[in-house]
Amino acid sequence: MSYIQKSLGDGETIIAHAHFHALYSVAAWLCLIVPGTLLAVAFAQAQEQPDPYTVAAGLLFMLGLITFLRMMIRKWSTEIGITSHRFVEKYGLLSMHTNEIALPNIEGVKVHQSLLGRIFSYGTVKIEGTGVDSVSTPNIADPVGFVRAIQTAKEHIAGLTATPRV
């Protein structure tokens, strides 16, 4: 069960989940595959003693492996979602860190997309709350749709708390 599901209050429902874009995984795998291929080629061409190219390829592979693990652990251990009452971000594998902002306290939402982000529909979302609270997401798929979910949830909350005019 996810953190967001476990932390739901009475009457609170999950409206939207944000997910890492598929290109994030592709980039992580490329960080592993490209140096691995170079290492395999260096081993295939190496003589009996490891030459400097093989050692360099081995170091590059280790760097690629570390980068791959950092990226994938971040992906596996991050949850981002909107509930009917709040924005929730949870990250961390061994330790857990959360950022939560109540929907009525969200003052502004900004989307940042690079040129490739616009083409492939990924980007970051910065959510600004009252006071100094500000949370930036990692690159997520369909950031505009996620912002739309935030606005819809905020409008729903505003509709429930509005006092009828007499």
Rounded percentage of the chain residues whose pLDDT exceeds 90: 70
Task: Give the mean model confidence (pLDDT) for residues 108-115.
Answer: 95
User: Does the pLDDT value for residue 119 go beyond 60?
Assistant: yes
pTM: 0.81
pLDDT at position 155 over 90: no
Q: Is the pLDDT of residue 165 over 70?
A: no
Cα separation of 35 and 53, whole Å?
A: 12
Q: What are the angstrom distances between the C-alpha of 143 and each of 16, 129, 138?
A: 11, 18, 10
Task: State which H helix or E strand residue 149 sits in.
Answer: helix 143-161
pLDDT at residue 133 is higher than 90: no
CB 160 within 8 A of CB 41: no
CA distances from 147 to 28, 38, 71, 73 (A): 26, 42, 24, 25
How many Cβ atoms are within 10 Å of 28's Cβ, its own excluded? 21
